[in-house]
Amino acid sequence: MTLNRRSFLQASSVAVGLAAAEAAFVRIAYAQGAAGTLRVAIAKPAGNLDPQSHYAIWAIQDLMFEPLVKYGKGGQIEPCLATDWKIEDGGKTLQLTLRQGVTFQDGTAFDATSCKWNLARWMGKDQYSWMNCSKYFESLDVVDDYHITLRFKEAPLALMQELSYTRPVRFLSPKSVGADGKFIEPVGTGPWQQVSADDTQSVFERYNGYWGDKPSYERLEAKVISDPRSRVAALRAGEIDLIGGFWVAALTPEEAKQLETAGFNVAIDPGNVSLVMAFNPDRADALKDQQVRKAISIGIDRAAISQALYLGYAKPAGNLFSSALPYAGKQHDAPVLDVAAASALLEKAGWTGSPIRSKDGKPLTLEMVVSPEAIPGSRVIAEVIQSEMKEIGIDLVIRTVDHASKHTDMLEKKYDLGFFLTYGAPYDPFGSVVQLCLSTFKNDVEGKLVTDAANLDPLINAATAATGDQIEPTIQKVYDWLYDNDAIAPLVYVPTIWAHSKRVQGFTSPVTEYDMPYEKIVLAD
Amino acid sequence: MIHFISKRLKHSLALLLLASVVCFTLVVSAPGNVAVLIAELRGAVAVPGYVAQVEEEIGLNKPLLMRYVDWLGDAARGDFGISYRTGQAVSADLPHRMMVTGTLIAGSAVIATLLSLLLGFLGAFWPYKLPDRVSRGLALIGASTPTFFVGALMIYGFSVTFQLFPSFGFNGPVSWVLPWLTVAVLPAAVLSRVVRVGLEEAMTSPYVLTAKSKGLGRTAILFREALPNITPVFINALGTQVGLMTATGIIVEPLFAWQGVGDYFLAGVRFRDFMVVQACLLIFLTFFIVVNLIVDLAVLMTDPRIRRQWS
């Protein structure tokens, strides 16, 4: 056998040429397959899409299932499967007029009977007692084919908001369950019907019998790509068209910037989720003093955090909620870094000395618990804050934990300083206020951002009991208490980030992080 | 040989049992409560008392020993339980995922073997000349470049820039090329040195001198005399590398969006999905043991000295 350089190079060239030719044919096939198809990246398989189950990706359920009312911009409640509604009897009665001419994707008519069947699957059941309309549910009466009346024992707080949630409130065809009532296949009234689903992708076709504005393209493929870098590469390689969304396939500001530089369209909205720092005075005595809390708050450069982690896309926060949410309250300016004022406050509180302050021989050392898995980028923010605290004489120790441990530590209050994310629309403001701040509400998952049974609870209870015009002034008192006592340190409003290829036109960011932004897209094929 | 196989099988079973105990201990001693994660996953908002309900539902309130015995008994019957994260049976997810990982490892092993033989022989044909230096340089680069970086380079070069191969997915041979190459780079680099050094050593042996004196050419000596002599060493090294490929797969599968066992394991670890982690670890361990067994048998068949020892 003879192997010389020439034959080796010839053989290698032939092999590379064949591989390239085969790949080129495949590339043409990819381009053909993409015509009329929107390809969206999802970080995990869509899961069990039963609206009453808790496993699926919200945005995928949003493609197929519709609510009675939709959550619009600024918290505006808009008609969907209900065209009209009247709240009577001090909020205890809800009269609904259902949309006519709506059919589920299997041909079943949407009417009062199917509406009642759906609501009976969850309303009034203990499992869904976290929703006020389920907790206070009394009865449901069918008036005629397109009118129903819901009665409650007490007026449910934010009733219409709750009816816009993705789960469990959205509507499933009564024929899509087995004889035992168990979910079999996802059939809704929405503009997309599922063709196939597995661990690699979920494929949807446009439902041509849809009652509303139909999408301008025929097919939507949700491709499972768990690695964030691979999602960005897939977009750049032209294999997907759209990525982003906190719960869909999160995109970091750095990745967004890279894509923007590479010529892709990036949509960044202010968002309605807030990143807030919690103080734990139960563990760190120093934090019982409001002056110390205030010093920490004004010792943080929110603009630097926005720049360091969000590349300037995030807006520094001065409030628990951004003005994008309803009942967000009077908007205060975000505290501006003031090292001198912060140092003066600490001096006044008796914490003196350098480089680390101390009081009664005890150094001012605080522990911050972060979990980059739970809150991406939180370690970077913690490091920024650590260097800023050093400037005012506070020794900040950062403890990084994984997602599971973060929950445990937050629940058991094993932290001095910690980060919380508010739930965002459509759950807020009441979702976060009640679950993160009301001491009597048992939150076994997130822990508490701040509690004060004597002073804060009565204000929250008054706000949640208020109706109509009384809601705004009563919830403002909650915000005022948080602000006046420096009980929390809002940091930034987390932006909503999406990126898409040039063939996606007319993109608008979704109103909530739980929606899929397919509606106004036109594909330029 | 039967004596050899039965002895190895007995050892393997004992090792599996021991490993399952170690895995179980490691998984349950990790900090954090999976019930809280499940509660979080099942709803954006908390349900009072729900965590305790989840703990009861998945049996976290049972004593550790009982949990282990329950799991082992079910696993022996092929039932690996229900995934805490997806609510689906783990055993239903596994066949497809094992096929995906099997494709990755088999393809990568073949490529690594071919590449390593090519590079090793190039060096041996022209020792200390340009091809040898090139193959040595390539081996050095291949062995010292992290797999995730190789994968990223492959995607950036072949998918993003030239758009020759898809950047993700398990859709036929074209989509397998980049993951195969990514996994194969490191083993190919290591094995090429095994081949090169083995051949060099063999070429200094007395039997090569005899072959030379018979008038055989360098090519014939390398293939007829040296290659059979380095085969047992090569098989041993290949076995180790194939075993390590399962670990590489944990990095490469998510990178190319392959839903294999590695990807499943990683998702399970992140979520404290005990059932998934245990099942994957058991598969990995079984794979290691089986690969070792095959390697031992292959060496037995290719090396008459060892065969004589056991006969």
Whether the predicted pLDDT of B74 surpasses 70 = yes
Whether the predicted pLDDT of B48 surpasses 70 = no
List CB contacts (< 8 A) between A445 and chain B.
Answer: 36, 39-40, 46, 50-51
Min Cα distance A93 → chain B (Å) is: 25
The span from the CA of A72 to the CA of A67, in Å, is: 12
Identify which of A438, A404, A158, A153 has the alpha carbon closest to the alpha carbon of residue B48.
A438
Residues, chain A: 525
Mutate one of B47, B223, B250 to test the A interface: name it (highest A CB count within 10 A). B47
Per DSSP, helices labelled H in A74-153 are 112-120, 132-135
Whether the predicted pLDDT of B44 surpasses 50 = no
Which residues contact residue A8 at a Cβ distance below 8 angstroms, ignoring those fewer than 6 apart?
none
Of A45-59, A194-208, A321-335, B52-66, least confident by mean pLDDT is B52-66
List CB contacts (< 8 A) between B259 and chain A.
Answer: 45, 199-200, 224
Tell me the pLDDT tens digit for each residue of A309-323.
888 888 999 999 999
Residue with tokens 């090329």: B177
How much of chain A, in percent, has pLDDT values that exceed 70? 94
Of A6-15, A17-26, A510-519, B184-193, least confident by mean pLDDT is A17-26
What integer is the mean pLDDT of B57-80?
A: 83
Whether the predicted pLDDT of B308 surpasses 90 = no
Do A39 and A221 touch, CB atoms closer than 8 A? yes
Note the Cα B196 to chain centre separation in Å: 23
List CB contacts (< 8 A) between A423 and chain B.
Answer: 44-45
**What's the total number of domains in chain B?**
1
Whether the predicted pLDDT of B45 surpasses 50 = no
Residue A200: which of B47, B255, B259 has the nearest Cβ? B259
By the CB < 8 Å criterion, does A28 face chain B?
A: no
For A212, other C-beta atoms within 10 Å of its C-beta total 12
Whether the predicted pLDDT of B97 surpasses 90 = yes
Contact call for A234 and B167, based on CB within 8 A: yes
B41-73 core/surface letters (b: 16 or more CB in 10 A; e: else)? bbbbbbbbebbebbbeebebeeeeeebbeebee
Note the Cα A78 to chain centre separation in Å: 20
Residue of higher predicted confidence among B119 and B308: B119
Tell me the pLDDT tens digit for each residue of A209-256.
999 999 999 999 999 999 999 999 999 999 999 999 988 998 888 899
Q: Determine the pLDDT at residue A4.
A: 59
Residue B163: which of A3, A238, A403 has the nearest Cβ? A238
Tell me the pLDDT tens digit for each residue of A363-375.
999 999 998 878 8
Q: Determine the pLDDT at residue A437.
A: 93
By the CB < 8 Å criterion, does B255 face chain A?
A: yes
Q: Inter-axis angle of helices B34-42 and A403-411, to 10 degrees?
A: 90
Mutate one of B126, B158, B167 to test the A interface: name it (highest A CB count within 10 A). B167
Residue A445: which of B46, B152, B256 has the nearest Cβ? B46
Whether the predicted pLDDT of B57 surpasses 70 = yes
Min Cα distance A349 → chain B (Å) is: 36
Residue B13 within any structural domain of the chain: no
Residue B195 within any structural domain of the chain: yes
Whether the predicted pLDDT of A348 surpasses 90 = yes
Comparing alpha-carbon positions, the chain B residue that sits nearest to A235 is: B160
List CB contacts (< 8 A) between A435 and chain B.
Answer: 45-46
Q: Determine the pLDDT at residue A9.
A: 64
Min Cα distance B261 → chain A (Å) is: 12
The span from the CA of B300 to the CA of A40, in Å, is: 52
Which residues contact residue A328 at a Cβ distance below 8 angstroms, ignoring those fewer than 6 apart?
A319, A321, A322, A429
Pairing of strands A365-370, A417-421: parallel
Do B283 and B93 touch, CB atoms closer than 8 A? no
Min Cα distance B243 → chain A (Å) is: 24
Dihedral sign from CA coordinates of A163, A164, A169, A172: positive
The span from the CA of B197 to the CA of B135, in Å, is: 12
By the CB < 8 Å criterion, does A477 face chain B?
A: no
Do B273 and B265 touch, CB atoms closer than 8 A? no
By the CB < 8 Å criterion, does A484 face chain B?
A: no
Which residues contact residue A314 at a Cβ distance below 8 angstroms, ignoring those fewer than 6 apart?
A253, A271, A275, A305, A306, A492, A493, A494, A495
Do A148 and A116 touch, CB atoms closer than 8 A? yes
Whether the predicted pLDDT of A399 surpasses 50 = yes
| Mean pLDDT estimate for chain A | 90
Residue of higher predicted confidence among A504 and B15: A504
Contact call for A237 and B272, based on CB within 8 A: no
The span from the CA of B69 to the CA of B80, in Å, is: 12
Q: Determine the pLDDT at residue A457.
A: 94
The span from the CA of A334 to the CA of B144, in Å, is: 48
Dihedral sign from CA coordinates of A418, A58, A114, A181: negative
What integer is the mean pLDDT of B211-215?
A: 89
> What does DSSP assign to residue B223?
I
Residue A129: which of B44, B47, B259 has the nearest Cβ? B47
- Cα-based distances in Å from B36 to A407, A440, B27, B170: 7, 19, 16, 33
The span from the CA of B145 to the CA of B133, in Å, is: 18
Mutate one of A445, A446, A449 to test the B interface: name it (highest B CB count within 10 A). A445
Q: Determine the pLDDT at residue B289.
A: 86
List CB contacts (< 8 A) between B271 and chain A.
Answer: 403-404
Q: Determine the pLDDT at residue A465.
A: 85
Q: Determine the pLDDT at residue A73.
A: 86
**pLDDT grade for B4, boundaries at 50, 70 and 90:** confident
By the CB < 8 Å criterion, does A412 face chain B?
A: no
Contact call for A402 and B32, based on CB within 8 A: yes
Residue B86 within any structural domain of the chain: no
Contact call for B257 and A423, based on CB within 8 A: no
Contact call for A445 and B31, based on CB within 8 A: no
Min Cα distance B43 → chain A (Å) is: 6
Min Cα distance A235 → chain B (Å) is: 9
Residue of higher predicted confidence among B52 and A12: B52
List CB contacts (< 8 A) between A443 and chain B.
Answer: 46, 48
Min Cα distance B12 → chain A (Å) is: 33
CATH number at residue B140: 1.10.3720.10
Residue with tokens 């090792």: B15
Residue with tokens 């760190």: A284
Q: Determine the pLDDT at residue B24.
A: 80
Q: Which residues between 246 and 305 in chain A have a beta carbon less than 8 angstroms from any beta carbon of chain B?
A: none
Whether the predicted pLDDT of A498 surpasses 70 = yes
Domain span at B231: 97-260
For A402, other C-beta atoms within 10 Å of its C-beta total 18
Q: Determine the pLDDT at residue A484.
A: 95
Q: Determine the pLDDT at residue A32.
A: 47
Q: What are phi and psi of A223, to 5 degrees?
A: -95, 130
Cis peptide before A495 (omega within 30 of 0): no
Whether the predicted pLDDT of B280 surpasses 60 = yes
Beta strands in A25-133 (DSSP E): 37-42, 69-71, 77-79, 82-88, 93-98
Residue B303 within any structural domain of the chain: no
**pLDDT grade for A284, boundaries at 50, 70 and 90:** very high
What integer is the mean pLDDT of A98-120?
A: 96
Tell me the pLDDT tens digit for each residue of A443-454.
777 889 999 999
Q: Determine the pLDDT at residue B286.
A: 86
List CB contacts (< 8 A) between A441 and chain B.
Answer: 48
Residue B37 within any structural domain of the chain: no
Do B60 and B38 touch, CB atoms closer than 8 A? no
SS3 assignment, position B37: helix
Residue of higher predicted confidence among A104 and A1: A104
By the CB < 8 Å criterion, does B170 face chain A?
A: yes
Comparing alpha-carbon positions, the chain A residue that sits nearest to B33 is: A404
Residue B156: which of A233, A239, A408 has the nearest Cβ? A233
Min Cα distance B164 → chain A (Å) is: 5
Per DSSP, helices labelled H in chain B are 2-29, 34-42, 50-57, 64-76, 90-125, 130-144, 147-154, 173-203, 206-213, 218-220, 227-255, 261-271, 274-302, 304-310
| CA angle at B308 for the pair B305 and B311, rounded to the nearest 5° | 155
Provide DSSP, B116-131. Answer: HHHHHHHHHHSTTSHH
Do A393 and A351 touch, CB atoms closer than 8 A? yes
Q: What are phi and psi of A195, to 5 degrees?
A: -95, -45
Residue B50 within any structural domain of the chain: no
Do A313 and A268 touch, CB atoms closer than 8 A? yes
Q: What are phi and psi of A249, to 5 degrees?
A: -160, 80
Residue B290 within any structural domain of the chain: no
What integer is the mean pLDDT of A418-422?
A: 93
**pLDDT grade for A28, boundaries at 50, 70 and 90:** very low
Contact call for A130 and B45, based on CB within 8 A: yes
Comparing alpha-carbon positions, the chain A residue that sits nearest to B40 is: A445
By the CB < 8 Å criterion, does B166 face chain A?
A: yes
Do A197 and A92 touch, CB atoms closer than 8 A? no
Q: Which tokens belong to B122?
A: 């190039």
Q: Which residues between 33 and 72 in chain B have a beta carbon less than 8 angstroms from any beta carbon of chain A?
A: 33-34, 36-37, 39-52
Q: Which residues between 211 and 250 in chain B have a beta carbon less than 8 angstroms from any beta carbon of chain A?
A: 219-220, 223
Contact call for A408 and B31, based on CB within 8 A: yes
Residue B213 within any structural domain of the chain: yes
Q: Which residues between 279 and 308 in chain B have a beta carbon less than 8 angstroms from any beta carbon of chain A?
A: none
| Mean pLDDT estimate for chain B | 87
Do B268 and B280 touch, CB atoms closer than 8 A? yes
Do A238 and A261 touch, CB atoms closer than 8 A? no
What integer is the mean pLDDT of B53-60?
A: 77
* pTM, full prediction: 0.82
Contact call for B255 and A30, based on CB within 8 A: no
Burial of A182 from C-beta contacts in 10 A (0-12 / 13-18 / 19+): exposed
Q: Determine the pLDDT at residue A1.
A: 45
SS3 assignment, position A204: strand
Min Cα distance A319 → chain B (Å) is: 21
Contact call for A199 and B93, based on CB within 8 A: yes
Tell me the pLDDT tens digit for each residue of A138-197.
999 999 999 999 999 998 988 999 999 998 999 999 999 998 888 899 999 999 999 999
Q: Which residues between 189 and 228 in chain A have a beta carbon less than 8 angstroms from any beta carbon of chain B?
A: 199-200, 223-227
What integer is the mean pLDDT of B92-118?
A: 95
Residue with tokens 């980049």: B178
Do A269 and A513 touch, CB atoms closer than 8 A? no
The span from the CA of A412 to the CA of A282, in Å, is: 11
Whether the predicted pLDDT of A201 surpasses 90 = yes
The span from the CA of A442 to the CA of A184, in Å, is: 33
Q: Which residues between 127 and 146 in chain B have a beta carbon less than 8 angstroms from any beta carbon of chain A?
A: none
Tell me the pLDDT tens digit for each residue of A59-75.
999 999 999 999 998 88
